[in-house]
């Protein structure tokens, strides 16, 4: 019963109703359906028999439609984000290089922001045989990302945003693209001797930000203007560090000195 104006009711007397009687009494509410989607943090693939909102029978599907499973996984990514994927160092660095190319040049280099990747997840993400949440962590994200590249620029990534750059000493140093507006090349001062200008990326549009390092690998200068550094900053660096690192060359004129990765031989 329920008192006038009350929002809840209290059942004072009830009798159990078996399934057969319930179905006979409310047969028009009975329905069977295949449900494949993202629910409670994972893919649900089941066949359900319901009586209205009451689940009478539920059975897991062992061979669901792959297209519907893929749609459910994409739904899960939209719901919970790209963190469901495993972002290896290779995948992360590739994404940063693509992001730099897009920021510096624009189309046809693809937008790889979270929003753009999620919006196009069905186009680039190769889910293979993935069927559930745990399988998303096994997807090869780096290979999938390369599917975003139009054929017109697919072979130019190493020119526009190279993974490594050669320096005067002969080393090939990895470029850090974590800041898409300002890629960083960290190189020891002695390996940069003879360099007149910082290298440029994105078809000459962007100069790398040089982090010039001491022999111990600590930054002693940050610059895009090498000519200015050699004239104004280097003499102070030389004065401060040549006594601390006597086995490393500290020439008066670094623009004509031989670049090196080595120390001086012991006398």
pLDDT band at residue 251 under the 50/70/90 scheme? very high
| Contact assessment for residue 162 and residue 98, using Cβ atoms and an 8 Å cutoff | no
Strand ordering across the sheet containing 30-39: 30-39, 42-51, 54-60
Verify that 75 and 101 share a domain, yes or no: no
Question: Which of 100, 131, 157 is at the close of a domain?
Answer: 157
pLDDT, position 25:
47
Q: Is residue 89 part of a domain?
A: yes
Q: Is residue 262 over pLDDT 60?
A: yes
Same domain, 123 and 108: yes
- Tens of pLDDT, residue by residue over 93-104, are 999 999 999 999
Q: Residue 120 falls within a domain, yes or no? A: yes
Secondary structure class of 129 (helix, strand, coil): coil
**Which domain, by its residues, includes 236?**
165-241
**What is the C-alpha separation between 267 and 264, in angstroms, rounded?**
9
Portion of the chain with pLDDT greater than 90, in percent = 76
pLDDT score at 94: 98
**Residue 42 pLDDT:** 95
Same domain, 234 and 169: yes
User: What pLDDT score was predicted for residue 35?
Assistant: 77
| Residues 58, 120 within the same domain | no
Distances (CA, A) of 165 to 58, 131, 159, 180, 208: 59, 41, 10, 17, 10
Q: In whole angstroms, what is the distance from residue 161 CA to residue 247 CA?
A: 35
This prediction's pTM: 0.82
Q: Across all residues in the chain, what is the average pLDDT?
A: 89
Task: Report strand pairing: 209-213 vs 184-188.
Answer: parallel
36 within a domain of the structure (yes/no): yes
- Read off the pLDDT of residues 84-140 as tens digits, 9 standing for 90 and up: 999 999 999 999 999 999 999 999 999 999 999 999 999 999 999 999 999 999 999
Average pLDDT over residues 15-24: 53
Q: What is the pLDDT of residues 35-59, one digit of tens each?
A: 789 999 999 998 877 765 666 556 7
In a domain, 39, yes or no: yes
Say yes or no: 189 and 124 in one domain: no
Q: Domains in the chain: how many in total?
A: 3
Q: For 174-222, how does the pLDDT look when each residue is reduced to its tens digit (9 = 90+)?
A: 999 999 999 999 999 999 999 999 999 999 999 999 999 999 999 999 9
Sign of the alpha-carbon dihedral angle for 228, 229, 230, 231:
positive
In-domain check, residue 255: no
């Amino acid at each position: 019963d329920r008192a006038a104006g009350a929002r809840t009711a209290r059942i004072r007397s009830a009798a159990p109703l078996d399934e057969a009687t319930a179905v006979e009494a409310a047969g028009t509410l009975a329905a069977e359906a295949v449900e494949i989607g993202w629910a409670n943090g994972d893919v649900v693939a089941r066949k359900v028999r319901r009586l209205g909102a009451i689940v009478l029978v539920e059975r897991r599907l062992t061979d669901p439609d792959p297209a519907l499973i893929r749609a459910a996984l994409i739904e899960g990514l939209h719901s919970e984000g790209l963190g469901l994927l495993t972002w290896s160092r290779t995948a992360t660095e590739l994404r940063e290089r693509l992001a730099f190319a897009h920021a510096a040049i624009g189309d046809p280099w693809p937008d790889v922001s979270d929003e753009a990747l999620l919006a196009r997840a069905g186009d680039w993400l190769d889910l293979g045989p993935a069927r559930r949440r745990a399988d998303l962590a096994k997807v090869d994200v780096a290979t999938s990302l390369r599917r975003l590249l139009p054929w017109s620029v697919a072979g130019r990534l190493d020119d526009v945003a190279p993974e490594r750059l050669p320096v005067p000493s002969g080393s090939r140093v990895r470029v850090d693209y974590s800041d898409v507006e300002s890629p960083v090349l960290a190189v020891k001062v002695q390996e940069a001797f003879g360099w007149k200008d910082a290298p440029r990326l994105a078809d000459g549009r962007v100069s790398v930000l040089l982090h010039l390092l001491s022999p111990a690998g600590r930054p002693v200068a940050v610059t895009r203007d090498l000519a200015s550094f050699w004239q104004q900053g280097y003499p102070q660096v030389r004065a401060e560090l040549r006594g601390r690192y006597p086995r490393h060359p500290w020439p008066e004129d670094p623009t004509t000195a031989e670049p090196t990765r080595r120390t001086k031989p012991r006398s």
